[in-house]
């Protein structure tokens, strides 16, 4: 798989370039329970966790809308933290392609893509990168936790137990 600059992206998480931060985000829709979960993790260039964010909803989103909303929420976390140099990384390939192509207002989630473009215009240096699911597994684990959360939970410079071991494993590799 190729990343944002055509570099080879492997099956494991990699820290961002020196001086940059990385936001990983993901989403899961549980149609049976009519729930959706969002998970976001922000790490520095040494793999240290700066923020984790999980939110579960009782809602019936279309999957494409949910994917676009996950990226939008990742950007919102970046804005709330005052980030200016970061990469948003996810395994939501179609959303990344749509963002890189300027969005698609004709899609049923076009309003979300338009909102993403507005958020991006306010950031000095943000990049987007598609990675395989294996390289985004911490965000996916956080998403699974979010499905059982009634509201929003934020961890600042702390790591929820559900992702502590994978995060440490990725920092060592």
Please report whether residue 101 resides in a domain: yes
Q: What is the CATH number of the domain that holds 98?
A: 3.30.420.10
Instruction: Report the domain count for the chain.
Output: 1
User: Could you tell me the pLDDT band of residue 2, with boundaries at 50, 70 and 90?
Assistant: very low
Calculate mean pLDDT across residues 50-79: 91
**In whole angstroms, how far apart are CA 62 and each of 3, 27, 54, 160?**
26, 12, 19, 28
Confidence of residue 100 (pLDDT cuts 50, 70, 90): confident
Mean pLDDT of 36-43: 96
Cβ 167 vs Cβ 59: under 8 Å: no
pTM for this model (two decimals): 0.89
**Residue 10 is assigned to a structural domain of this protein:** no
**Is 1 within the bounds of a domain?**
no
Distance from C-alpha of 142 to C-alpha of 114, rounded to nearest angstrom: 26
Is 139 within the bounds of a domain?
Answer: yes
Residue 103: give the domain boundaries: 21-156
Angle CA 141–24–75, to nearest 5: 125
Query: Is residue 4 situated within a structural domain?
Result: no
Q: Flag the least confident range among 2-6, 118-122, 138-142.
A: 2-6
Contact criterion met (CB below 8 Å) for 76 and 38: no
9: in domain: no
Q: Which of 4-8, 36-40, 66-70, 167-171 has the lowest mean pLDDT?
A: 4-8
Please indicate, yes or no, if residue 2 is contained in any of the structural domains. Answer: no
Residue 108 lies in a domain: yes
């Amino acid at each position: 798989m190729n990343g944002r600059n055509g570099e080879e992206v492997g099956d494991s998480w990699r820290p961002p370039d020196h001086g940059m931060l990385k936001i990983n985000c993901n989403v899961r829709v549980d149609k049976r329970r009519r729930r959706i979960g969002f998970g976001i993790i922000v790490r520095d260039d040494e793999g240290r966790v700066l923020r984790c964010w999980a939110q579960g909803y009782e809602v019936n989103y279309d999957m494409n809308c949910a994917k676009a909303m996950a990226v939008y929420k990742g950007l919102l976390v970046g804005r709330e933290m005052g980030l200016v140099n970061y990469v948003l990384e996810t395994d939501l390939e179609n959303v990344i392609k749509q963002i890189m192509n300027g969005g698609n207002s004709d899609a049923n989630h076009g309003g979300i893509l338009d909102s993403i473009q507005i958020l991006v215009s306010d950031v000095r240096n943000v990049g987007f990168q598609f990675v395989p699911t294996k390289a985004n597994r911490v965000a996916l684990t956080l998403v699974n936790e979010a499905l059982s959360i009634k509201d929003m939970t934020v961890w600042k410079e702390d790591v929820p137990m559900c992702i502590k071991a994978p995060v440490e494993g990725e920092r060592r590799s």
